[in-house]
Amino acid sequence: MLDGVDARFEAGRLTSLLGPSGSGKTTLLRVIGGFVPPDAGRVLIGSADVTDVALWKRNIGMVFQSYALFPHMSVAQNVAYGLRRRGLRGAAVRAEVARALELVQLTGFDARRPKQLSGGQQQRVALARAVVTKPRVLLLDEPLSALDRRLRQEMQIELRRIQRESGLTTVFVTHDQEEALALSDRVAILDKGRILQEGAPADIYEHPKTVFAARFLGDVNLFTGPVTAGGVEAAGALIRTTTPMPPRGTTATLAVRPEKIDLVPPGAPVPPGNNIEAVLMEVVYAGAMSTFLLSAPGGIPLKVFSQNRTATHPEPGTRLRLAWSPEQTMLLEA
């Protein structure tokens, strides 16, 4: 599943492992946690080599996709489990449990059973149980995927707050790029058992290295064509970028995010930078924003996001001029 992964997770930071299913992100998480041994290579936490340390001695906190709360125990007993395994008893346990439940805003839920809680509440208990032991690493395996969209967004903010307050080094597995971008200090993109790219969210969104990374992080318009003087010939125009180009005569792919493109009103002066003409195929109205689907010369499909400052839209079939800056144009490896 994994293929020569070499990754560092910064202390006290939240790093997301982002990838499609089967990319090896969960396997990597399970190797870090010690749930499965690596076939080759070492796992270090701080300066300590933990490759051969058993899972139960590794002092990690894990939040499972299914929460994995113990159904025969109360909320307090669930949270106390790790503390009791570490030999704590009585008042010390009660104080720590109360603090952890306060952190996840579930004070007063001590005596409830997991079955009596909503999905979001179970999620919080799982989180409290994982952080209460002050683990060296907190591992989260798609913890929000079972929640509905609204609750998920609330829990993202909660999770961020809890991670900051606890200061735990956190590794978060997700296949949801918005979640990864919103939550993380660092994002690592995985595909086919390899880490393709790693960096701060804005960095990897604005400067993806490959077509796969660019597509996985959001919508992108691609222009593939021969390299000529200063740009790539595609969609009936010469598209430029500020990034150094490969030699003339080769083929290259340039890309631009849909929100970076301006729709130039008919009759307005053509702005400098990249601009092409395209036929509007469809407008997808979504309240605050609309998505324009267009077709550029050569049948290249394009997507443009536009804030709905006015309520009027051009009709499908209209020819529109699209403009964007060469600085926003990304050179991608295939």
Partner 1 sequence: MTLAGRILLGLVLLFLYAPIAVMVLMAFNASELYSLPMVPTLHWFEALAGNDKLLAASRNSVAIALATAVLATTLGTMAALALSRQAFWGRSLLQLLLLPPIAIPWLITGTAMLVFFFWTGIGRGLHAMILGHVALAIPYVVLVVGTGLRSLRADLEEAAVSLGSTPIHAFFAITLPLLAPSLIAAALFAFAVSLDQFVVSYFLATPGMSTLPVEIYSSIRKGFTPEINAISTLLLAASVGLFVVSAILTRMGGEPERR
Least distance to partner 1 from the beta carbon of 223, Å? 45
Q: Which is nearer to partner 1, 118 or 251 (CB)?
A: 118
Q: Are 206 and 218 in contact, with CB atoms under 8 Å apart? A: no
Q: Which is nearer to partner 1, 29 or 196 (CB)?
A: 29
The token pair that represents 118 in the structure block: 């909503």
Least distance to partner 1 from the beta carbon of 35, Å? 6
- State the burial class of residue 233 (Cβ atoms within 10 Å of its Cβ: 0-12, 13-18, 19+): middle
Q: Which is nearer to partner 1, 134 or 192 (CB)?
A: 134
DSSP SS3 for 176: coil
Return the ∠ at Cα 137 (arms to 175 and 209), rounded to 5°. 40
Q: Which of 212, 223, 297, 295 is nearest to 256 (CA)?
A: 223
Distances (CA, A) of 143 to 33, 54, 77, 139, 191: 15, 24, 21, 10, 20
Q: Which is nearer to partner 1, 120 or 314 (CB)?
A: 120
| Residue with tokens 């002092």, as numbered in its chain | 59
Least distance to partner 1 from the beta carbon of 296, Å? 46
Q: Are 227 and 252 in contact, with CB atoms under 8 Å apart? A: yes
Q: What's the one-letter identity of residue 226?
A: P
Distances (CA, A) of 117 to 46, 145, 207: 36, 17, 42
Q: Which is nearer to partner 1, 64 or 305 (CB)?
A: 64
Q: How far apart are the first and last CA of the chain?
A: 22
Q: Which residues bind partner 1 (CB under 8 A)?
A: 33, 35, 54-57, 59-62, 64, 66, 68-72, 81-82, 85-86, 114-115, 119, 122, 129, 133, 146
Least distance to partner 1 from the beta carbon of 139, Å? 8
As a residue count, the chain comes to: 334
Q: Which is nearer to partner 1, 142 or 198 (CB)?
A: 142
DSSP SS3 for 123: helix
Least distance to partner 1 from the beta carbon of 56, Å? 5
Least distance to partner 1 from the beta carbon of 172, Å? 16
Cβ burial 153-178 (10 Å sphere, 16+ → b, else e): eebbebbbebbeebebbbbbbbbbbe
Q: Which is nearer to partner 1, 70 or 285 (CB)?
A: 70
Q: Which is nearer to partner 1, 61 or 258 (CB)?
A: 61
Q: Are 291 and 303 in contact, with CB atoms under 8 Å apart? A: yes
